[in-house]
Amino acid sequence: MTSQVSSPAEQAVPAEQPSGAAVPSPVDAGPPPAKEVRRLDRVIIRFAGDSGDGMQLTGDRFTSETASFGNDLSTLPNFPAEIRAPAGTLPGVSSFQLHFADHDILTPGDAPDVLVAMNPAALKANLADVPRGGEIIVNTDEFAKRAMAKVGYATSPLEDGTLDAYNVHPVPLTTLTIEALKDFGLSRKESERSKNMFALGLLSWMYHRPTDNTEKFLRKKFAKKPEIAEANVAAFRAGWNFGETTEDFAVSYEVAPATSAFPAGTYRNISGNLALSYGLIAAARQADLPLYLGSYPITPASDILHELSKHKNFGVRTFQAEDEIAGIGAALGAAFGGALAVTTTSGPGVALKSETIGLAVSLELPLLIVDIQRGGPSTGLPTKTEQADLLQAMYGRNGEAPVPIVAPKTPADCFDAALDAARIALTYRTPVFLLSDGYLANGSEPWRIPEPDELPDLRTRFATGPNHTLADGTEVFWPYKRDPETLARPWAVPGTPGLEHRIGGIEKQDGTGNISYDPANHDFMVRTRQAKTDGVTVPDLTVDDPSGTARTLVLGWGSTYGPITAAVRRVRAAGDEIAQAHLRHLNPFPANLGDVLKQYDRVVVPEMNLGQLATLLRARYLVDVRSHTQVSGMPFKAAQLADVLKEAIDD
């Protein structure tokens, strides 16, 4: 058999390692099943097909089944920017990778154990990632001469020995689906569309996934077209039964729920963008302020706009603006009016918003700028991930315009990061960057659902009366008189009698806020705004160094947390020592960061850019760091990162 089953040794150490040799083990409970069932600790499945084949939906459903079964999981959707790229071509291939396990895992996995290839293009585009011995399910119906020629197969890879090293399951998915639906009175084309559900049914059988929710989901999704709903359910069941009855699939697999990996609680599966949306709604509730989103659609941030638009019953206002500039402009206007204001975008949108972010810095109003980073420059890779907006967030404005930066590390962590960004914005009356990315946005993982009363109190106070006494005893309101501790200025919203005041982008006189071109005042105000940002309270960096004697530190930020942690586990499992730390706050840095960096002989900084954090660290702490970079649009692979860390340790 293939490499699905991890060795007992690996199972003892829940490390993210390449699966080892097959060790079949009988199931201990119940009557002997008709077919052999093997128990695995982890599996990586990749569904791949044409953009129109419904691979994202298939992956989502398999994920949902897996989540409700209680496995730990991590997903990686990967699709072209074109809505429908030319059919059957390599650029048109869309895939969805899912890693699930009976223990806690950190990444969608490096290499799929199972590849489902719906056509020759999907096979060709993904084959190189499948380790030898891996399992490949192919839809043989699509391997016609022309389709194969389109992607450069002169002979059929199913017959010419290309796949000899793999465990191939040739399945005529299209024919079987059409046959299963012959009584539904659908056209051939309509029937064909359900072939992804046939594949899902087959995989659900192979991995003992619960199926009720998928059937419910299909009936709800196609509620307006009941015959299509029933056809999809029928195809799904046919796929399941095919696995159960056909000789080709002799073995099915069990991956036990990952109960021991999780603290007690109620869990759900959640993607980064959904967690971030919920974080914003929760932050508004905890601040007791209305949420206002000004946004312009952009991949991969649009789902936040879509999600928040659904929740008007929470008092959430969403405004789809005419452009990125108006999106943040409206948000800033709402912030002036006393809302928890947010704008959501990706890198190109941040570029357009820069001037308004500078205004927000100058006005000192709370504002969240959510940047779901993607490949750049310019339009770049809209559907692929990257971390290359760090320096844009840090410095991409005219003048000295410091903005705090918060970065979530996993999809579920986007929830907490949103609350944290809101805390900083409201406490310090400042715009705050929330730097997520495409990998976090679309990837998903289990999330322990917090009780609303566990959430932090974010309530803030609007100014209600005079805050300053003039020499003659007159009580006045000074819009730029600061809180001595936070250096925040008062938030006086229109509608408050007696506090009428004017703010603007021109430099303001300290205290009064009146226009001032006084050189000394400008110098003072620039330094004060910087001091306010530098003074934002962020927790110290914690270092994971089990032995306390490691000489090498790996330091990351944002979405590289999963791959880095997986790589660290590999390194440690191999007997080496390495310390790990991960930055949530990029501006200001944690106060102890400099000391942490100096404690280690070598510091490795992996980033999905050309070394932006490394540049900041070198400039700030005069510490050399080893920058390890990758800008392929894809997340790091744990195995490769482990090699990089090992090299640094041995150096």
Partner 1 sequence: MTEALKLVPKAEAQQTMKDFKSDQEVRWCPGCGDYAILAAVQGFMPELGLARENIVFVSGIGCSSRFPYYMNTYGMHSIHGRAPAIATGLATSRRDLSVWVVTGDGDALSIGGNHLIHALRRNVNLKILLFNNRIYGLTKGQYSPTSETGKITKSTPMGSLDAPFNPVSLAIGAEASFVARTVDSDRKHLTEVLRQAAAHPGTALVEIYQNCNIFNDGAFEPLKDRDQAKEAVIRLEHGQPIRFGADNDKGVVRDQATGDLKVVTVTPENEGDILVHDAHAASPTTAFALSRLADPDTLHQTPIGVFRSTNRPVYDTQMADQLEAAIEQKGKGDLGALLAGNDTWTVVG
Max CA-CA distance within the chain? 96
Partners of 522 in the beta sheet? none
316: Cβ contacts below 8 Å, ≥ 6 apart? 281, 284, 290, 291, 292, 293, 308, 309
Nearer to partner 1, 95 or 356 (CB): 356
Interaction between residue 325 and partner 1 (CB under 8 A):
yes
- Site for partner 1 (CB under 8 A): which residue of 38, 208, 317, 522? 317
Q: Which one of 152, 265, 399, 465 is in contact with partner 1 (CB under 8 A)? A: 265
DSSP letter assigned to residue 589: P
Given 125, 163, 321, 487, the residue binding partner 1 (CB under 8 A)? 321
Residue 245 or 260: the one with the smaller Cβ distance to partner 1 is 260
Which residue number, 231 or 280, has a Cβ lying nearer to partner 1? Answer: 280
Residue 329, interface with partner 1 (CB under 8 A)? yes
Using the rule CB under 8 A, which residue among 160, 179, 248, 323 binds partner 1?
Answer: 323
- Of 20, 52, 170, 290, the one binding partner 1 (CB under 8 A) is 290
Number of amino acids touching partner 1 (CB under 8 A):
70
13 CB-near residues (< 8 Å, 6+ apart):
569, 573
CA 506, CA 522: separation in Å to the nearest integer?
Answer: 10
Please list the residues that pair with 557 across neighbouring strands: 583
What element of type H or E holds 639?
helix 638-650
Contact between 504 and partner 1 by CB under 8 A: the answer reads yes
Using the rule CB under 8 A, give the single segment among 23-31, 165-173, 224-232, 334-342 that binds partner 1. 334-342
- Among positions 348-407, residues that touch partner 1 (CB under 8 A) are 355-356, 359, 363
Task: Examine residue 487 and tell whether it contacts partner 1 (CB under 8 A).
Answer: no
Q: SS3 for 219?
A: helix
Q: What is the CA radius of gyration of the chain?
A: 27
| Site mask for partner 1 (CB under 8 A), range 219-258, x = bound | --------------------------------------x-
DSSP string, 396-443: -SSSS----EE---STTHHHHHHHHHHHHHHHHT-EEEEEEEHHHHH-
Terminal C-alpha separation, the chain: 39
Q: Measured between alpha carbons, how far is 196 from 214 in angstroms, rounded to an integer?
A: 13
Residue 50 CB, shortest distance to partner 1, in Å, is: 28
Binder of partner 1 out of 31, 377, 484, 495 (CB under 8 A): 495
Token pair of 589 as six digits: 């840095």
Nearer to partner 1, 299 or 356 (CB): 356
If one asks whether residue 499 binds partner 1 (CB under 8 A), the answer comes out as: yes
| Binds partner 1 (CB under 8 A): choice among 9, 470, 506, 591 | 506
**At a CB cut-off of 8 Å and minimum separation 6, what does 639 contact?**
18, 110, 567, 570
Interface residues with partner 1 (CB under 8 A) are 64, 67-70, 213, 257, 259, 262-269, 278, 281-282, 285, 290, 292, 294, 311-315, 317, 319, 321-323, 325-326, 329-339, 341, 355-356, 359, 363, 449-452, 494-506, 514-515
